[in-house]
Structure 1
Amino acid sequence: MFGFLKKRREAKKLAKFLTEVRVRRHADDDLLSAEQRVGLDALIAETAQVRPADAAAFLETAVPKYHRIAPLYRHFQIRAFLDLLLVVGAVAFGIRGLFFQPFRIPTSSMQPTLYGIHFLDRENASNPVLGKLPNPLNWLLFSARPAKLEIQSPGELDLNSLTSQGNFLSDSTGFRIGGTRYSLPGDIRKVEEYSNLEAGKSYAKGDLLCDGFLSLGDHLFVERFSIYLAPLKRGDVIVFNTDGLTVDGRRLADASGFYYIKRLVGLPGDTLKIVGNQLYVKPQGAKVFKKIQEIAPAFEKIYSGKGGYQGHLNHMGRYLATPGEEFKLGPDRYFMMGDNSSFSLDSRFFGAVPRENLVGKAWIVFWPFTRRWGWVDRQGPIDAPTGEPERGTFKVMYRQ
């Protein structure tokens, strides 16, 4: 009797371990490296083959192996619980599962329509409430963590002191300047972008490198059914998977993630070209090209030159890379581009997206509570010139 109960307990431990690894593999898909994803997939397959009688012996080696493949960051369980709580609360306002899928904007490629992790300048932020509330409320309402750095000791950046670590809110980067240790929210690349950290540059006491907040970006629902009920339109904001797509000979999923979000600019049968940062479309059966904003009003703001919108560029990528170069879309193929054209990995690099890769339309931003909260793509640009890009972004993006 006792032997039976012991085996049952071990079988439950095995099942719990398998569930934990599967959940981690899915939830952190955009955070794990390609090597970590392959390792977890192999561990899941191995665990699924273990007999309950062998569970105890297997777990003695499998648990340490799991932690070696994908070490848990600090406060992993707290962060996982808060993520779960946030998703569950949002699901209370809609139907989950087959019809709606939560999605977190991973990068800056759709700014300023939708934001990934980004810096908000305290002085020029368009949100009048940001910074006037206690820090916990700033995070709860606006997903914003304080990011301020004033130099205390003169000196240069010690490159060997750069370290990155995660907590239950987001990543943080530590470094040393002139013998003083500092920490700012975000990974090393993001911190270098918004604080203008530079190797070899001398900093004086009192220099203000940044004063603002780092936001975790927009979280939204994707509705998955209308793409099967009505024709897609140029200007729709679409989430799709990258299965079968490649860039520079590598699987796009391995290079930068399995799910992408972009704006649909070309339908099956369209012929596209870019001249002078202007996208032209010749629909199937038409004889002349037209500016895309003349065909689809959703693109008018893309060419406003305000708030970070900059038109469509053609000096990068593999397709539409030279002025006047044409690209014709075949049946069930769609051309996708990011609104932040200067910093978007899109169909200019990996080509047309097959119909079967489409997941759904971006629907509602449910968190944080910024000017983008609510229906996706409902806001026009803020009344400020886009300007020129600096260090991986446009400074006007820091206001939103």
Structure 2
Amino acid sequence: MATTTKTESEKPAKAPSAKLVRNTLKEAKKLLAYHRDLLKPEDASAFEQSIGDVQKTLADRDLKQCQAGISRLEEEAARYFPKAASGFREWVEIIAVAAIVAFGFRTFFLQPFKIPTGSMQPTLYGIYPGETSYLEDDNPSPMVQLFEKIAFGKVFVDGGYRTKGDHIFVDRLTYHFRRPTRGEVIVFDAEGIPGIVQTGKFYIKRLAGIGPEEIQIKAPYLYANGKRVEDEPFLKIYSMKCPSCGTVGDFSPETHAQNQAICHHCGMTRYHGYINPMYYPHAQYLLTPDNVFQIPADHYFALGDNSRSSSDSRFWGSFEHTRLVGRAVFMYWPFNERWGPIR
């Protein structure tokens, strides 16, 4: 007696589980919510009706009938939401969202800056040249050059190199909740300050005075309201110490004007206190030890750590609180002895 065997296609479809139906409905609702604004009103209504039919069937616990509803949802999803170029579109959307998040983070939290000049040396370095000393060649091999460029920011030229300025993060959030304190390294908007030599929109200096108070320089010391400023950052600046090699230079008030800011041991900049800019042609304030500057209320007085080579408040005075951008908090590149929190 002949027998017949049912093929796979002839076998009755297995009813989906309630969990599968619920997950399918969840994804369908998400798909509709995500793309509703791109659909024709009648297509959106039809897809929404199909979702409702499956929900009703699930509520009636008719899981076999749910299979037909799920199949209809899949067909309509393929018709209303074509997958062509969907991968590319999703990547574009991810990149756009990431860019918006990064822009918001940069605007309200941490903003990267690059130090262009040497006014804050040796705390932070701008672009500066250096010499190389190699036994065989004037310049190192291409692989060594690539490594030192990535790690230390050195761009090699014949017989030497040029180091790019330090890259830092500036905290833009903190000063919305408190006022800055003396000694912090700050970034502010320099555009439009009377008397400033414009070399960039933003300046980075150390906060030396907070209005209303009187500021005075008696080399190498800073005075506020007649008292020497003894806060930790300033003790470092008075120290005559070279952070690169650790040596301490000689100092006497009589020779400070002639004292060199360059370390005689390693050739890098060392801390050398503050000077009165009596011989600087564009300087206007604190020209001599007897000069006093009265900082107006809600204004700040800023000085560079490299006092012999800094265009700062000695040249153009104080600036308003509203010009503050934020607090320099971290030097993230290049990777050298300065990498880390900024103090």
> Smaller-chain TM-score range?
0.5 to 0.7
- Give the aligned CA root-mean-square deviation in angstroms: 2.6
Q: Deviation string for 1:301-346 (max 9, x for gaps)?
A: 1011122111111124101112210111111110000000001000
Task: Give 2:326's match in structure 1, choosing from 360, 367, 376.
Answer: 360
Task: Give 1:103's match in structure 2, choosing from 107, 113, 119.
Answer: 113
Q: For residues 208-227 of structure 1, what are the structure 2 equivalents within 5 Å?
A: 212-227=160-175
Q: Counterpart of 1:118?
A: 128
Q: Counterpart of 1:340?
A: 306
Task: Give 1:275's match in structure 2, choosing from 218, 229, 232.
Answer: 218
In the alignment, residue 313 of structure 1 is paired with which amino acid? Answer: I
Runs of 4+ in structure 1 deviating by more than 3 angstroms, as ranges, are: 120-124
Q: For residues 190-205 of structure 1, what are the structure 2 equivalents within 5 Å?
A: none
Distance 1:301 1:322, change over 3 A: same
Unaligned runs of 5+ in 2: 1-97, 135-139, 243-269
CA–CA distance in structure 2, aligned partners of residues 103 and 120 of structure 1: 23
Q: Counterpart of 2:209?
A: 266
CA–CA distance in structure 1, aligned partners of residues 177 and 341 of structure 2: 20
CA–CA distance in structure 2, aligned partners of residues 276 and 98 of structure 1: 39
Secondary structure of the 2:151 match is: helix
User: Is 1:311 the counterpart of 2:273 in the alignment?
Assistant: yes
Q: Which moved more, 1:335-344 or 1:320-329?
A: 320-329
CA–CA distance in structure 1, aligned partners of residues 317 and 214 of structure 2: 13
User: Is 1:234 the counterpart of 2:177 in the alignment?
Assistant: no
Q: Report the Cα offset of residue 221 of structure 1.
A: 1.0
* Rg larger for: 2
1:114 and 1:372 in contact (8 A); partners too: yes
Q: Report the Cα offset of residue 121 of structure 1.
A: 4.1
Q: Report the Cα offset of residue 269 of structure 1.
A: 1.6
CA–CA distance in structure 1, aligned partners of residues 132 and 213 of structure 2: 44
Q: Report the Cα offset of residue 220 of structure 1.
A: 0.9
Q: Report the Cα offset of residue 146 of structure 1.
A: 2.1
Q: For residues 38-117 of structure 1, what are the structure 2 equivalents within 5 Å?
A: 95-117=105-127
Q: Report the Cα offset of residue 123 of structure 1.
A: 5.5
Secondary structure of the 1:306 match is: coil
1:243 and 1:357 in contact (8 A); partners too: no
CA–CA distance in structure 2, aligned partners of residues 112 and 148 of structure 1: 26
CA–CA distance in structure 2, aligned partners of residues 272 and 97 of structure 1: 33
1:238 and 1:264 in contact (8 A); partners too: yes
Q: Deviation string for 1:240-259 (max 9, x for gaps)?
A: 01133122xxxx37x32211
Give the strand-richer structure, 1 or 2. 1
In the alignment, residue 101 of structure 1 is paired with which amino acid? Answer: Q
State TM-score, norm by structure 1.
Answer: 0.49
State TM-score, norm by structure 2.
Answer: 0.56
CA–CA distance in structure 2, aligned partners of residues 305 and 121 of structure 1: 24
Q: Counterpart of 2:291?
A: 325
Identity among equivalent positions (%) equals 41
Q: Counterpart of 1:351?
A: 317
Secondary structure of the 1:108 match is: coil
CA–CA distance in structure 2, aligned partners of residues 370 and 290 of structure 1: 36
Q: Report the Cα offset of residue 354 of structure 1.
A: 0.6
In the alignment, residue 300 of structure 2 is paired with which amino acid? Answer: Y
Q: Report the Cα offset of residue 148 of structure 1.
A: 3.9
Q: Report the Cα offset of residue 120 of structure 1.
A: 3.3
Q: Report the Cα offset of residue 98 of structure 1.
A: 1.6
2:127 and 2:164 in contact (8 A); partners too: yes
CA–CA distance in structure 2, aligned partners of residues 281 and 371 of structure 1: 32
Unaligned runs of 5+ in 1: 1-87, 125-130, 150-211, 283-288, 378-400
